[in-house]
């Protein structure tokens, strides 16, 4: 009886959470006639998949997609390399100032982005990086506090004896990082890569502030601008929204195992 | 003789310690450089800006505390936007945590298809804020919206969600809560980490379910609850994307959040110094709130291995 109640509640609630996705997809493939029906059409009689192609050609969405991909690919590489190097440094070395520096690193997670957004704009302006993709890529090469924290936790679970054995065999610090820890922390790297990919792909405020020219827009910025101009073109907005949601959703399904069982929660534990 | 014999060894040891330290600093150097150029530098820069009249191009002039004084004493928009943000946070933060906790609890007790349900609840958190806004704008649409259709089924004439100054902020809160998955996941992981033996022992001793919840689950989940509490507060104060795209601060400024006030001063009026001052006010508020929550939490957060009071163990 209690189980029945539990599952009924779960089914109902999860349906509520999924419904907006379903609705968006159906809106994207509906005919114009079905769009403005009341009561709404939940199962359209005709499925117009060509709506995607039509929407895609209404603005240079191909360019936006290319820009998004450039940002995502290059920043993810930078994030994986830099965060794992820093995590290894914090996890496996004793050096003066290590603990205060690590606390400082954790403290940076609390700084609201709004505080950095204005001086960063000025800084990138000074460097001549405004209206280029660099502000969205370069910072990723300098490690992110949260990811360093996750990866460090992961390295700490590896017995130190493994490092020592490798050192006996003549491996230097970089070898140990490259040949031992990097392969061992693959699950954590998948987690970091997935999260960073999603953050970079989904980012709206960064592109909004740092990019001016339409030719430099990312997909999020492109969609928001398109929505601003063609509010009534619901089908096309829905179609592009579906395209925008697909990569993070697909990636989530692929990396699900790592995200769910991964270090997300266990690392937070005091 | 002995000194001469040991000296080279000491030197060598020092050198190796030095080179080991150097290696360590090399490994963490990406973060140190990033901290200097993308965190500390910008923070100091923005603090300096906040004491200046600082347009994007043109002459800047030192004005002392004028930006702060104007903001606090002469700018009603500052107080209005701060009030809207506080209202938003006061509703969003508790709802986010309670909802996350309840659903995490349900998922924890569900054995069948728990993976499916978990995924269903987490999905909204993986998509972009821009997608979230487009999706919810239609749900809230007065005539064709899903929400008003559902209300019409129970005989309620749906309101104009995004056009009503009293409702627009509620609409933004609901849309934000849709992305509660991250918080939920952290609490779920926390629940799974609580040793089953605790509940077994309690059940054997005849402790009722509600007492187990109160004296086992909640205390064991303490650090996680604290973490989600603080991150939710920070997230609430930074709320910008949804308001910017869904309501543009309206109607009648009813969703003009503090972050939007800062954004407008910087990138609409190009008054960088004034905007920087606003961002520092936000930073201080978030910092003070976090510290208060942490201090308050020492009363209810239990860390494993920690002994409280001591006399209870005697």
Q: Where are the domains of chain A?
A: 60-266
Of the candidate ranges A54-68, A224-238, A254-268, the one whose mean pLDDT is the lowest = A254-268
What pLDDT sits at residue A103?
92
Strands B52-53 and B61-62, sheet pairing: antiparallel
Cross-chain Cβ contact A89/B39 below 8 Å? no
Q: What is the mean pLDDT of residues A113-129?
A: 91
User: Rounded to a whole number, what is the distance in Å from the CA of A67 to chain B's nearest CA?
Assistant: 16
pLDDT at residue A115 is higher than 50: yes
Round to whole Å and give the CA distance between A104 and B103.
34
Instruction: For domain B76-302, give the CATH number.
Output: 1.10.3720.10
Q: Which residue bears the tokens 């903001």?
A: B71
* Residues in CB range of B181: below 8 A, 6 or more apart: B121, B122, B123, B124, B125, B126
| Residue of chain B with shortest Cα separation from A116 | B42
Cross-chain Cβ contact B223/A270 below 8 Å? yes
- The predicted complex's ipTM stands at 0.88
Q: Is A134 on the interface with B (CB under 8 A)?
A: no
First to last CA, chain A: 37
What CATH homologous superfamily does A60-266 map to?
A: MetI-like (1.10.3720.10)
| Mean pLDDT over each residue of chain A, to the nearest integer | 89
Pick A270's closest partner by Cβ from B127, B237, B303. B303
Q: Residue B238: its chain A contacts at CB < 8 A?
A: 112-114
What pLDDT sits at residue B306?
52
Q: Residue B56: its chain A contacts at CB < 8 A?
A: 122, 125
CB–CB of B228/B184 below 8 Å? no
The pLDDT tens digits for A193-251 are: 999 999 999 999 999 999 999 999 999 999 999 988 888 888 899 999 999 999 999 99
Round to whole Å and give the CA distance between A49 and B274.
49
Cross-chain Cβ contact B282/A95 below 8 Å? no
CB–CB of A118/B56 below 8 Å? no
Q: Residue B190: its chain A contacts at CB < 8 A?
A: 265, 268-269
Angle B46-B50-B52 from CA coordinates, rounded to 5°: 115
* Residues in CB range of B137: below 8 A, 6 or more apart: B162, B246
Of the candidate ranges A97-101, A212-216, B68-72, B293-297, the one whose mean pLDDT is the lowest = B293-297
pLDDT above 70 as % of chain B: 91
Round to whole Å and give the CA distance between A148 and B5.
44
Q: Residue B53: enclosing H or E segment and its boundaries?
A: strand B52-53
Residue of A139, A108, A102, A189 lying closest to B33 (CA atoms):
A139
B55 DSSP 8-state letter: B
Of the candidate ranges A201-205, B34-38, B227-231, the one whose mean pLDDT is the lowest = B227-231
What pLDDT sits at residue A269?
40
pLDDT above 90 as % of chain A: 61
Query: Taking the model in full, what pTM does it have?
Result: 0.87
* Residues in CB range of A170: below 8 A, 6 or more apart: none
Round to whole Å and give the CA distance between B262 and A207.
17
What pLDDT sits at residue B260?
94
Q: How many CB atoms lie within 10 A of CB B249?
A: 20
The pLDDT tens digits for A93-108 are: 999 999 999 999 998 9
Cross-chain Cβ contact B134/A238 below 8 Å? yes
The pLDDT tens digits for B152-189 are: 888 888 888 998 898 999 999 999 999 998 899 889 88
Phi-psi region of B96 (alpha: psi -120 to 50; beta: other; left: phi over 0): alpha
Round to whole Å and give the CA distance between A204 and B141.
23
The pLDDT tens digits for A183-203 are: 999 888 998 999 999 999 999
Round to whole Å and give the CA distance between A33 and A48.
12
Q: Which residue bears the tokens 């050198």?
A: B15
The pLDDT tens digits for B95-110 are: 999 999 999 999 998 8
């Amino acid at each position: 009886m209690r189980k029945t109640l539990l599952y009924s509640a779960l089914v109902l609630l999860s349906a509520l959470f999924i419904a907006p996705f379903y609705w968006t997809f159906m809106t994207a493939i509906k005919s114009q006639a079905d769009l403005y029906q009341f009561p709404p059409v939940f199962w359209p009689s005709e499925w117009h998949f060509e709506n995607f192609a039509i929407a895609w050609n209404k603005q240079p969405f191909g360019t936006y997609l290319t820009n998004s991909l450039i940002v995502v690919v290059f920043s993810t590489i930078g994030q994986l390399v830099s965060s794992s190097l820093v995590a290894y440094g914090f996890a496996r070395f004793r050096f003066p100032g290590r603990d205060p520096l690590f606390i400082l690193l954790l403290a940076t997670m609390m700084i609201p982005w709004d505080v950095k957004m204005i001086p960063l704009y000025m800084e990138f302006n000074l460097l001549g990086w405004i209206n280029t993709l660099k502000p969205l890529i370069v910072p990723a090469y300098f490690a992110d506090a949260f990811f360093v924290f996750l990866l460090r936790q992961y390295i700490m679970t590896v017995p130190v004896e493994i490092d020592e054995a490798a050192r006996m065999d003549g491996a230097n610090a970089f070898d140990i990082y490259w040949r031992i820890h990097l392969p061992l922390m693959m699950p954590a790297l998948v987690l970091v890569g997935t999260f960073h990919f999603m953050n970079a792909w989904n980012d709206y405020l960064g592109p909004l502030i740092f990019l001016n020219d339409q030719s430099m827009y990312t997909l999020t910025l492109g969609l928001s601008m398109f929505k601003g101009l063609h509010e009534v073109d619901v089908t096309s907005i829905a179609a592009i929204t579906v395209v925008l949601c697909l990569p993070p959703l697909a990636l989530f399904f692929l990396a699900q195992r790592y995200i769910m069982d991964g270090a997300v929660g266990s690392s937070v534990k005091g | 003789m002995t000194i001469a014999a040991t000296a080279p060894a000491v030197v060598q040891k020092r050198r190796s310690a030095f080179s080991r330290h150097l290696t360590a600093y090399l490994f963490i150097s990406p973060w140190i450089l990033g901290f200097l150029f993308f965190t500390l530098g910008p923070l100091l820069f923005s603090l300096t800006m906040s004491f200046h009249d600082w347009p994007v191009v043109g002459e800047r002039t030192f004005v002392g505390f004028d930006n702060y004084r104007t903001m606090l004493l002469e700018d009603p928009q500052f107080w209005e936007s701060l009030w809207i943000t506080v209202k938003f946070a006061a509703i969003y933060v508790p709802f986010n945590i309670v909802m996350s906790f309840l659903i995490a609890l349900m998922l924890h007790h569900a054995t069948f298809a728990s993976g499916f349900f978990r995924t269903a609840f987490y999905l909204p958190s993986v998509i972009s804020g821009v997608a979230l806004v487009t999706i919810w704008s239609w749900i809230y649409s007065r005539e064709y919206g899903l929400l008003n259709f559902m209300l019409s089924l129970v005989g309620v004439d749906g309101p104009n969600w995004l056009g009503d100054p009293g409702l627009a902020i509620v609409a933004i809160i609901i849309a934000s809560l849709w992305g509660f998955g991250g918080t939920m996941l952290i609490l779920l992981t926390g629940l799974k980490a609580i040793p089953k033996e605790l509940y077994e022992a309690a059940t054997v001793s005849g402790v009722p379910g509600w007492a187990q919840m109160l004296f086992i689950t909640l205390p064991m989940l303490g650090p996680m609850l604290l973490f989600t509490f603080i991150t939710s507060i920070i997230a609430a104060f930074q709320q910008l994307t949804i308001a910017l795209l869904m309501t543009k601060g309206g109607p009648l400024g009813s969703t003009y959040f503090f972050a939007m006030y800062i954004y407008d001063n910087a990138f609409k009026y190009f008054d960088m110094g004034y905007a920087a001052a606003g961002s520092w006010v936000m930073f201080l508020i978030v910092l003070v709130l976090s510290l208060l929550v942490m201090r308050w939490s020492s009363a209810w957060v239990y860390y494993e291995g920690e002994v409280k009071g001591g006399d209870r163990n005697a």
